[in-house]
Structure 1
Amino acid sequence: MEEKTILELQQELTKLKKAQVRIKRKFTFLLSIIAMLVLITATLAWFTLSNFASVNEINLKISTAPELYLDIENRGTDVSLWKKVLTNDMINQYLSSVNAPKIDEQRLDPVTTSNGISFQSQSGSARNANETSSFLEFKVWFIATTDMYVHLSGQTVQVEGNNATTACTTTETGAKADIVNALRVSYEDNGSAAIWEPHKGSPVAGQSSFDVNQSFGSESRLFHLDTLTPKQITFRIWAEGEDPECDNDVQAANVTIQMLFGGADEAGNSFE
């Protein structure tokens, strides 16, 4: 009787071990499924098609600082030759000089970057600027009649009789309007770039980005200008593939980008 009980216990123990093995296998399978879902979730932000947002209009306008000017070309130290506003035609003039498609001929396909300078596709391969479907890049010269730190400004001011501000807008509605949250603009000066993220959300792709406001804090500081010393800055505009709202819903959207630049001293006091 006692030997039979021990045998039964051994059989029950064997059944229990087999059940544990089955549970482990199911658990491992479940973890695999979860891992796949996480991977899918991480990649859904990228488009599955290549048709993306056209850059509809880019307006670059200077802020209240009367000492600050810009142009596509270096006009020397005579500020009367410089401009307060850049138009699409002026930017297209630069693009033509480097044999790049005009703004309305380019499409922004999703790319990603950690520094706003070098860009990759979802697969990790390098992407070049100003291809038919890539990211937009152009260079702008700045000059100031006094030493200043140049900022991107969230103020609304009058420049040459028109309202000027910094904004990323669209005429799209519904989910397609999320395009304004997926775009980024970087400003490179001597190998270092500041990244403007309109409607800033949680950081992605290791980026350190900022959004504009009414004050000139250090986070919106782009670069420094010495008195009457022209400086060339590289602008890059792209759709950030790692942004959660850079998905199929915003394909073929239109977008308008305005940038208003202002000058301030080291303490952030703007020049009126």
Structure 2
Amino acid sequence: MSFFSKIIDKMMNEKVSRQKRKRLIIFISIITLLSMVTTTVAWFSVNTFAGVDNLNLNISVSAQLKVGMENYGTDLTRYSKEITNQMIDSYLAKSNTSLAQTVLDPVTTTDGVRFTNRSGALRQANSRSYLEFQCYFIATEEMWVHLTTESTEVGKNDGTRVTSTSPSPQNEVIQCTRVDFTTQTNGTAIYEPNKGTPVNGQTTFDLPSGTMVYSNSTRLFHLDALTPTLVTIRVWIDGEDPQCDDDVQNANLGIQLGFIGCDNNNQPIA
């Protein structure tokens, strides 16, 4: 008999309440099925959770833009063009957790920095709430960093996209997802895929579904030349979103982020 089966049998024998049994069984299922990126979200069901174990970040066209999980000063050789899951895990290890252990409850926020649950209780990052990590962006010249749907190479398909392979209405989970980016100088920009009516006073932006067009609304933060800039990135499921209900339980969610550097006129820097 497996370890988890023993736990469940013990719960049944000890007549643990139905609600607590459901809570633990769902949590175990998420742990054992993380390789399938199983996600369960619902603002109105307090016993459901979301698991995150895959998050890809890629830097697009601009060759002058790089990123790292630490501040390496101006040593560009120590920065890279990609943040991997392993790099994020190294960051999360400081909080004794990892992507595979990350559990998301539906939360909400007005500013993308302070998060609360449905009852208004303050939630902390990387603790059954929302995912948060920090990294440093650096560029060889002044630029604005934007999200982009463009790929780094033809056919590579590594631009920004939030997807679900689940059938309708489960795939509406992508409309509950939010990703934000905070810097000390430029504040917080909130990306809302498939943007709908604003919730909880949030100011968000979406990306075009066709040809990528860069504008002030797609700007995330500004970089000065050869100046490492600390960026805090957060991912959450917003419980105030109308689509965050029981219909999206057991949905699959994939997040991929692509970045590009533009000049003051929002033109990509080659």
Corresponding residue number in structure 2 for 1:42: none
2:59–2:152 contact (8 Å) kept in structure 1: no
1:109–1:239 contact (8 Å) kept in structure 2: yes
- Are 2:84 and 1:87 equivalent residues in the alignment? yes
Structure 1 SS opposite 2:149: coil
Give the helix-richer structure, 1 or 2.
Answer: 1
Letter in 1 for 2:57: L
Letter in 1 for 2:49: F
Identity percentage of aligned residues:
43
RMSD: 1.6
| Structure 2 CA distance for aligned equivalents of residues 170 and 47 of structure 1 | 21
1:23-68 alpha-carbon deviations (Å, 9 max, x no partner)? xxxxxxxxxxxxxxxxxxxxxx723133222224100000100010
2:53–2:102 contact (8 Å) kept in structure 1: no
1:53–1:254 contact (8 Å) kept in structure 2: no
Q: For residue 76 of structure 1, report the CA deviation from its aligned partner.
A: 1.8
| Structure 1 CA distance for aligned equivalents of residues 57 and 222 of structure 2 | 18
| Structure 1 CA distance for aligned equivalents of residues 252 and 83 of structure 2 | 20
Q: Which runs of 5+ in 1 are unaligned?
A: 1-44
What is the 5 A alignment of 1:30-179?
Answer: 46-99=43-96, 101-131=97-127, 133-158=128-153, 162-179=156-173
Letter in 1 for 2:64: E
Corresponding residue number in structure 2 for 1:244: 242
The structure that has the greater radius of gyration is 1
Corresponding residue number in structure 2 for 1:39: none
Letter in 2 for 1:66: A
**Given the two structures, how large is their TM-score scaled by the length of structure 1?**
0.79
Q: For residue 171 of structure 1, report the CA deviation from its aligned partner.
A: 1.9
Match of 2:207 among 187, 205, 212: 212
1:169-220 alpha-carbon deviations (Å, 9 max, x no partner)? 1221122111111010110111721000011111111000001231220001
Q: Which runs of 5+ in 2 are unaligned?
A: 1-41
Match of 2:267 among 245, 269, 272: 269
**Given the two structures, how large is their TM-score scaled by the length of structure 2?**
0.80
Structure 1 stretches of at least 4 aligned residues deviating more than 3 Å after TM superposition: none
What is the aligned length? Answer: 225
